[in-house]
Amino acid sequence: MMDAFNPADHDIGVQSFGELTQEGFEKTILQYTDITDTYVLAMPTAALNGISYTANVIDEPERFHILEGRTCTAENEIVITEFIAANFGIGIGDTVMVRGDSGSGEYIVSGIYSCANDMGDNFGMNREGYLKIGQDHPNLWCWHYFLADSSQKGAIADVLENTYGGDVHVHQNTWPGLFGIISAMQALLLFMYALVIVFILVVTVMTSSRILSVEQKDLGIYKAIGFSSASLQITFSVRFTIVSSLGGLVGIALAAVFTDPLVGNIMRLAGISSFSSSPGFFAAVLPLAIVTILFTGFSWLSAVKIRKVPFTILAAE
């Protein structure tokens, strides 16, 4: 989610609004952990073809999340989101007019990149390209850091905010609504599994009752030739295991094919153009294992009725 909303990755970002210098807040950071890498990013407002947008200005444009083409390495190049490309009907190689707070100029679209800020209505520039049309100021730039121990970023953010107050803006690779969305997704996942358990229980009980009713004579024959009730109970549940496993494999295959396109189309409504689920092996197999175990367990419990099938059913027949 954060890769989608941020134009470039980082652990923590610090922007000074007062007299605090880069050396000052870096001294605080180094008290907790080493800094492994850094770059600067600014987000001024600039007009593209007469419409005002947020411009993501970076000193290392290779950090942009490029989807097509290449990043904006030359000072007369920019990258745009696919939403801006669709709005203006432009693409890689086209020329646009960009106006800043001190001038304007023509820029070539070198690539399509991903950033969901402002619902995807933003574009990216390198530092040299922006300074041709915009004014420079020390407080314009936000220093983005990668930390040797990223677990310290919360403590670092708290110390900087408590020490310098409104003179500094500190942000991690997150945003306020993210954790609420994640919590809602986790609650929805638990609710979904609860529904799955109830559904499997009801289906298994109904199906098992019908199968056992139809197969009573066969079960009596098996008992007569020496099969125990326990073994018949196990073989009954194995049938559910096989069918549920095959169904689960089909589900995994369908999810692999359709999840990203379906969810990606929904994400586009929020300005996210590069959604990719990329689940690990455990995440992909876990639902299959849970569903198979539930079907097996419930069918085994339902098959307890086999123990009550009498030998005399053959005589009755």
Confidence of residue 220 (pLDDT cuts 50, 70, 90): confident
User: How remote is the C-alpha of 147 from its chain's centroid?
Assistant: 22
Model pLDDT for residues 145-156, shown as the tens digit of each residue = 999 998 898 899
* Alpha-carbon distances, residue 10 vs 23, 29, 40, 113, 170 (angstroms): 19, 14, 10, 17, 12
Q: What is the pLDDT of residue 262?
A: 85
Phi, psi (degrees; rounded to nearest 5) at 114:
-115, 125
Q: What is the mean pLDDT of the chain?
A: 88
Burial (CB count <10 Å: 0-12, 13-18, 19+), residue 123: buried
Q: What is the pLDDT of residue 266?
A: 75
Would the pTM of this model clear 0.85, i.e. be above it? no
- Angle at CA of residue 238, ends 234 and 240, nearest 5°: 125
Per DSSP, 310 falls in state -
Q: CA-CA distance, 248 to 1, in Å (whole number)?
A: 28
Q: What tokens does 24 get?
A: 């000052």
Model pLDDT for residues 205-214, shown as the tens digit of each residue = 999 989 988 8
Asked whether residue 106 carries a pLDDT value surpassing 70, the answer given is yes
Q: What is the pLDDT of residue 312?
A: 57
Looking up tokens 């001038």 gives 103
Using DSSP, state whether 71 is helix, strand or coil: coil
Q: Which helix (H) or strand (E) holds 38?
A: strand 35-42
Asked whether residue 236 carries a pLDDT value surpassing 60, the answer given is yes
Model pLDDT for residues 248-301, shown as the tens digit of each residue = 999 999 988 888 888 877 777 666 766 777 778 888 899 999 999 999 999 999
Q: CA-CA distance, 248 to 193, in Å (whole number)?
A: 14
Asked whether residue 317 carries a pLDDT value surpassing 60, the answer given is no
Q: With contact defined as beta carbons under 8 Å apart, do 156 and 29 qualify?
A: yes
Q: CA-CA distance, 126 to 194, in Å (whole number)?
A: 50
Delimit the domains of the chain by residue range: 2-172, 178-316
Q: How many CA atoms lie within 13 A of 168 on its CB side?
A: 24
Tell me the longest C-alpha to C-alpha distance in the chain: 101
Model pLDDT for residues 1-56, shown as the tens digit of each residue = 666 677 888 999 999 988 888 888 899 999 999 999 999 999 999 999 999 999 99
Over residues 173-191, mean pLDDT: 79
Q: What is the pLDDT of residue 256?
A: 87
Over residues 108-136, mean pLDDT: 92
Looking up tokens 């994400």 gives 267
